[in-house]
Homo-oligomer: A and B are copies of this chain.
Amino acid sequence: MDTSRIVVLIMAGGSGTRFWPSSRRKLPKQFLSFDGGNSLLAETVARLDGLVPRERVYVITGAEHATLAEEHAGVPKANIIAEPLGRDTAACIGIGAMVARTIREDAVLLVLAADHLVGRLDRFRAALLRAAELAADGPTLVNIGLRPDRPATGYGYIEIGERLDGSEPPAWKVRSFREKPDHETAARFVLGGDFLWNSGIFAFGARTILEALARYLPELAAGLKGLRDPRDEQELARVYPTLPKISIDYGVMERAERRVVVEADFEWDDLGTFEAVARHADPHTGHNLSRGGAVFHDAVDSLVVNDAPGTVVLSGVEGLLVVRTGDTVLVMQRKDAERVKDVVRELEERGRSDLL
């Protein structure tokens, strides 16, 4: 295909609650480094170098993070789209498709998240190209999926049907979407071989996705139509509050007809929780894991995420999660790691926004 048709939209709208205190309101996860190097957002952009010129890479983020996003992404300032408030992914993608069409009528929109971990760059790029090709052809909505290697309950799954003809990586018709299954169901999905993880990476013909929005989310489409310039801050401030808050998965993908998933085999993690971080942390004895300075002494099943210089020492404890930043320490049970949001909500209710 003609890769100059590709326009990239990087969704960088996280609010920083799932990784508190590592992430903060002023510095959500996408602006943090996972490995001490560049931030996740910077890595996401860099991963596209050579595939798509930065002039065609757009970043959509909360207005309060626009300056930060510009610094991290290294794309033209005009390519930062500042949302006045969060309206989930369907609105983001609608804006992105509108912007893409201002570049060219036949634009293919590649949608990426700003906060994923990706390995095997060659395979990643091959999958993106294949997805873009499939989306370029016509009215097909394309997901990128990954073969699950464990019964993760935090991911969405895509049930695959008939295999499409054509080159590698393989692509399949989508039979159904299944949001976060319970453990038993997830185990069945993994064993059966008919399910892929939904990576949250999409390819759409810009016109196709706008048509799909008009059909499945008419209120959202009508709101977007009111925008003369989809990048104008004042126009966004006027229209955004009227848009329904819904994800592209619920709003469109689960209901659309022509859906395809490319089965990619790059390394991928959406780093959704501290437990996800643990998968990439340093192992110790006793099923302990750590990132950053940590000492385990008669401690078991514990996870330390230490983002500041210095050391966390766990002695005689079991099943704890300890997260340390320069000014804050969070101690909770590791099994509750997905409930960090609740802690953030509690702090907010107690008027401790200074900590968030």
Which one of A11-19, A123-131, A313-321 contacts B?
A: A313-321
Closest B residue to A332 by beta carbon equals B315
A355 within 8 A of B: yes
Q: Quick one: CB contact mask for A42-64 with B, threshold 8 Å, 1 for yes?
A: 00000000000000000000000
Closest B residue to A343 by beta carbon equals B315
Q: Are A346 and B297 in contact (CB under 8 A)?
A: yes
A38 within 8 A of B: no
Q: Are B331 and A313 in contact (CB under 8 A)?
A: yes
User: Given A295-B347, A313-B330, A313-B343, 20 other A-B contacts at CB below 8 A?
Assistant: A21-B313, A297-B343, A297-B347, A309-B327, A310-B326, A310-B328, A311-B328, A312-B328, A313-B329, A314-B331, A314-B332, A315-B331, A315-B336, A315-B339, A315-B342, A315-B343, A316-B339, A317-B320, A322-B329, A324-B329
Q: Are B316 and A347 in contact (CB under 8 A)?
A: no
A interface, CB within 8 angstroms of B: 21, 295, 297, 309-317, 320, 322, 324, 326-333, 336, 339, 342-343, 346-347, 350, 352, 355
Instruction: Please provide the 4 A-B residue pairs with the shortest distance between their CB atoms, ordered closest to farther.
Output: A310-B327, A315-B332, A312-B329, A315-B343
* Residues in chain B near residue A330, CB distance under 8 A: 313, 315
* Chain B min CB distance to A215 (Å): 44
* Residues in chain B near residue A295, CB distance under 8 A: 347, 350, 352, 355
Closest B residue to A308 by beta carbon equals B327
* Chain B min CB distance to A288 (Å): 12
What's the Cα separation between A324 and B339 when bound, in Å? 23
What's the Cα separation between A327 and B196 when bound, in Å? 43
Given contacts A311-B355, A350-B295, contact A317 B331 (CB under 8 A): yes
* Residues in chain B near residue A342, CB distance under 8 A: 315
What's the Cα separation between A326 and B315 when bound, in Å? 19
Of the A-B pairs whose beta carbons lie under 8 Å apart in the complex, a sample of 28, sorted by A's number, is A21-B313, A295-B347, A295-B350, A309-B327, A310-B326, A310-B328, A311-B327, A311-B328, A311-B329, A311-B352, A313-B328, A313-B329, A313-B343, A313-B347, A314-B331, A314-B332, A315-B330, A315-B331, A315-B332, A315-B342, A316-B332, A316-B339, A317-B320, A317-B332, A320-B331, A322-B331, A324-B329, A331-B331
* Residues in chain B near residue A317, CB distance under 8 A: 320, 331-333
* Chain B min CB distance to A211 (Å): 46
* Residues in chain B near residue A336, CB distance under 8 A: 315-316
Given contacts A347-B295, A350-B295, contact A355 B313 (CB under 8 A): yes
What's the Cα separation between A312 and B343 when bound, in Å? 12
* Chain B min CB distance to A316 (Å): 5
* Residues in chain B near residue A312, CB distance under 8 A: 328-329, 331
* Residues in chain B near residue A329, CB distance under 8 A: 310-313, 322, 324, 329
What's the Cα separation between A180 and B197 when bound, in Å? 61
What's the Cα separation between A331 and B320 when bound, in Å? 9
Closest B residue to A329 by beta carbon equals B312
* Residues in chain B near residue A309, CB distance under 8 A: 327
Closest B residue to A350 by beta carbon equals B295
What's the Cα separation between A22 and B315 when bound, in Å? 16
What's the Cα separation between A322 and B320 when bound, in Å? 12
* Chain B min CB distance to A8 (Å): 38
What's the Cα separation between A317 and B343 when bound, in Å? 12
* Chain B min CB distance to A219 (Å): 38
